[in-house]
Amino acid sequence: MDLDNWVDLAGSAPLNGIVELTRRFVNPDKVDVFAAAGLAPVMTAREGPYFWDGAGRRIFDAHSNGGTYNLGHRHPELVASLRDALSVLDIGNHHFLSGLRVRLAQELVELCPGDMQYSVLTATAADAIEVAIKSARRATGRRLVVSAVDSYHGSTLGSMAAGDTRNAEYFHSQASRDDVLQVPFGDAGALADLLAQRPVAAVLLETIPATAGFPLPPEGYLRTVRELCSQHGALLVLDEVQVGLGRTGSMWAVDFEQVAPDVLVTGKGLGGGLYPVAAAVMTAHAGGWLRDNGWGHGSTAGGSELGCVVALKVLEIMQRPETLNNVHRSAEQLREGLAKLQAEYPLLVDVRQRGLVLALGLNHEAGGRLMTAHGFAHGLWAMFAAYDPRYLQLKPGLLLTEAQTQELLALLAATLESVSKELARC
């Protein structure tokens, strides 16, 4: 096997049987599901808001892998930081103290809302969710976690069991009713009833649930959740893995209600798409175990020093005024453009938007799914919402220029046109 040409190896092999080889050695069902939608997506080259597929077509990445590519693919400053770091560092030793871990932990503590004290650095966000759950259980001496119906927090046993039940049941790993209970997102009454009946360790919510198609929290909901948690001695854990880090137009999605969680989980974009790093940032109370059980959570690659270097650069870029200004400009451009598309295409019945957190709702039960498939044919990559396939999730990069934002709108128009035509034929 020729390992010299990584770009070819990553993606151009559809021409060399990557589909069949993936079916054989990696994940047959994934191949079949994509094939049913006429897709076999791979990435060869990648740069800024684009990647190139196996056929050499340039694709506009409007999904950004859930926010992983918030700053685009291979942001030059991030690539340079990682290159520099690689000339002197490795992942470090997770048992040791590390100045880089201190800097990243402190930066996150200072950037998060409320009175945060510690950052537990992990390699994946699912790990950080596990840390959040463990911390809440230890701090409260209780076991029960309350999460939202149709939520996704990761695929490890604990994070999976805390989210939508289907995969957990499939793997015979569903939580008992003493471990996890769910309430509808946005229903403060249901949460109030539950908290009044049962001692709860943590209320775990995505600030805006991605896989459900980004239903926006009703006005005042998160403030009420905060009050209920404080009243009943439960910790509030907010999962900002997809919607944090500037995507809504402020550093954290929860900032719009000025609510301070006890634990905030971040990941994906924190590593700039170059080096995996995630974190559970927590108050002194939530992180009490860190004062008496320093090895209570071990992870060889958690808080890797290479990841810390990239994450510190990500946070530096995020704090430049021009970054959030660009989010506001691009979000406004999309708001206006999508309103026009809604007037033009009756199929587009709903636009959910907070900054660059967007979901398009179609008047068809598989509308989002069709948009994903037709979009790819037009050179647009955006994923439908798995728990509500009427919706297409849009998570464009935060650094789009005006011309690139316009290009995204044109691609959406072309996609809506062909989905409308297909549905008219049915």
Ligand X SMILES: Cc1ncc(COP(=O)(O)O)c(C=O)c1O
Under the rule (CB under 6 A), what is the footprint of ligand X?
Answer: 66, 124-126, 129, 152-154, 206, 210, 239, 241-242, 267, 278
Using the minimum distance from each CB to ligand X, give the nearer residue, 52 or 256: 256
Residue ranges of E strands in 329-379: 348-354, 357-362
E strand or H helix that includes residue 51: strand 50-52
User: What's the CA dihedral at 256, 66, 317, 281 to 10 degrees?
Assistant: 60
**Between residues 241 and 362, which has the closer beta carbon with respect to ligand X?**
241
CB of 382 to ligand X, least distance (A): 15
**Shortest distance in whole angstroms from residue 129 CB to ligand X:** 6
Amino acid at site 84 = D
Shortest spacing between CB 12 and ligand X, in angstroms: 26
Give, as one character, the DSSP assignment of residue 9: I
Q: Which is nearer to ligand X, 64 or 415 (CB)?
A: 64
Name which of 217, 231, 310, 316 is nearest 272 in CA terms. 310
As measured in angstroms, the least distance from the Cβ of 386 to ligand X is 10
Minimum distance from residue 241 beta carbon to ligand X (Å): 4
- Which DSSP symbol is given to 257? G
Helix (H) or strand (E) holding 283: strand 278-283
Q: Which amino acid would we find at residue 238? A: L
Minimum distance between the CB of residue 154 and ligand X, rounded to whole angstroms? 4
Q: Which is nearer to ligand X, 124 or 420 (CB)?
A: 124
Nearer to ligand X, 129 or 131 (CB): 129
- Residue for token digits 């700053």? 71
Output the CA torsion 375→376→378→383 (10° steps). 30
- Tell me the H-state helices in 26-124: 28-36, 64-67, 76-86, 99-111
Distances (CA, A) of 400 to 45, 61, 335: 18, 11, 14
152 vs 345 by CB, closer to ligand X: 152
Is 14 or 67 the residue whose CB approaches ligand X more closely?
67
Q: Toward ligand X, which CB reaches closer, 71 or 129?
A: 129
Neighbour order of strands in the sheet with 348-354? 348-354, 357-362, 391-394
- Nearest CB to ligand X, comparing residues 126 and 194: 126
Picking from 409, 381, 327, 402, the residue whose alpha carbon sits closest to that of residue 62 is 381
138 forms bridges with which residues in the sheet? none
Report the nearest approach of ligand X to the CB of residue 235 (Å).
17
User: Whose Cβ is closer to ligand X: residue 326's or residue 393's?
Assistant: 393
Q: Shortest distance, CB of residue 4 to ligand X, whole angstroms?
A: 30
Nearest distance in Å: CB 185, ligand X: 12
| Smallest separation (angstroms) from ligand X to the CB of 346 | 31
Please give the helix or strand (H or E) that residue 202 lies within, else none. Answer: strand 200-206
Question: In whole angstroms, how close is the CB of 115 to ligand X at the nearest point?
Answer: 23
Residues 6+ apart with CB under 8 A from 65: 268, 273
Give the whole-angstrom CA distance, residue 256 versus residue 246: 12
Cα separation, 66 vs 244, whole angstroms: 11
Nearest to 254 by CA among 236, 272, 269: 236
Residue 221: count of CB within 10 angstroms of its CB:
18
Of 211 and 405, nearer to ligand X (C-beta) is: 211
